[in-house]
Amino acid sequence: MKITAKQKKGIKMSNRDFFDGKTVLVTGGTGSFGKKIVGRLLAAHNPKKVIIYSRDELKQFEMKCSDEFKNAAKLRFFIGDVRDYPRLKMSFHNVDYVIHAAALKQVPACEYNPFEAVKTNIIGAENVITAAIENNVDRVIALSTDKAANPVNLYGATKLCADKLFIAGNSYAGGERTRFGVVRYGNVVGSRGSVIPLFKKLRNTGVLPITDERMTRFWITLEHTVDFVIECFRIMAGGELFVPKIPSMKLIDLARAIAPECRHSVVGIRPGEKLHEVLITKDDARRTFETKDMYIVKPDFDWCGKKDFPGAKKVKEDFIYSSDNNPEWLTVEQLRKMVE
């Protein structure tokens, strides 16, 4: 499998040996992020094996037959659900690194099926933690969301709980080698559930629905999320919550970028939705450090020993990282280039 120019962009040479000879398992590996990071691991690194762990056999079959992965000799596919601990524990045997991307993440679906969200996002997180410790997995990174900071919907609440579980997993690991970290970021351009396909679909109607003209969101590309997660694997000590520095955008600017000829119909904020999203709360500021490219929220307890990150400095006590107070913004033209 050849590495493309896009994949080369942003890859740090210091990362290139980190996955060499390692077995990596990705829960929810058939999702947008899963496929992107699996492609990167196989193209830019030299792992011993990459395992997809997910519950949808059709998505696995389609991924296996795709042009990108059909000749990937190091790729394995395991059918399983993170709710199923015995299967998860079996799958983690001889695994070095785990990327936990499996989740129920559609806000309306989680609101309508709350117990299902709890089973997957919370109980599933507990199962991943326990299976990793029992199998002496070296490092685990779980993917979080901006909706987990000061949550107002069930999806965000379950992900906040999962974040807390993964951070505390370092305590449960005790003297074992397993270490856990969390990566939290905002809306991903073009991922499943993105508003972009909806706006493109409605472009021909001449009208785009806008929840609120003031609404803002953090914005990140899939390529950036993959680069960031790989970097966090390299630098983590255990217990950190890593947040990338990413731009904000106005929802109305996104609509203008996709369909400048359309008028806008304000439909109001939906249940469980925020006007602005938050990645780091004021309460987390006292434990938050800033580098050139990221924020690092350190754990309350030094289970894994103190670690200093080069160039990191403590943020102000009243610091809040929200999509409306972000110093970096995307213009309409920049958004147009991204969605195209």
**List of residues 6+ apart from 52 with CB closer than 8 A:** 26, 29, 30, 34, 38, 60, 63, 75, 76, 77, 78
Sign, Cα dihedral of 128, 133, 134, 135: positive
Contact assessment for residue 167 and residue 299, using Cβ atoms and an 8 Å cutoff: yes
Give the Cα separation of 103 and 318 in Å (integer). 32
* 244 contacts: CB under 8 Å, gap ≥ 6: 183, 185, 220, 224, 225, 228, 293, 294
Q: Which of 196, 237, 229, 213 is nearest to 339 (CA)?
A: 196
Q: Single out the catalytic residue among 35, 105, 147, 298.
A: 147
Q: What strands, in cross-sheet order, belong to the sheet with 248-250? A: 187-188, 216-220, 248-250
Strand partners, 295: 243, 290
Q: Give the contacts of 281 (CB within 8 A, at least 6 positions apart).
A: 149, 150, 320
With H, G, I as helix, E, B as strand and everything else as coil, classify residue 71: coil
At 247, is the secondary structure helix, strand, or coil?
coil
45: number of Cβ within 10 Å:
20
CB 294 within 8 A of CB 227: no
Annotation marks residue 147 as catalytic: yes
Which residue in the block uniquely carries the two structure tokens 């951070």? 167
CA distances from 67 to 1, 2, 24, 39 (A): 10, 12, 21, 11
Helix (H) or strand (E) holding 7: helix 5-8
- Cα dihedral sign, 288-289-293-299: negative
Catalytic residue numbers read: 147
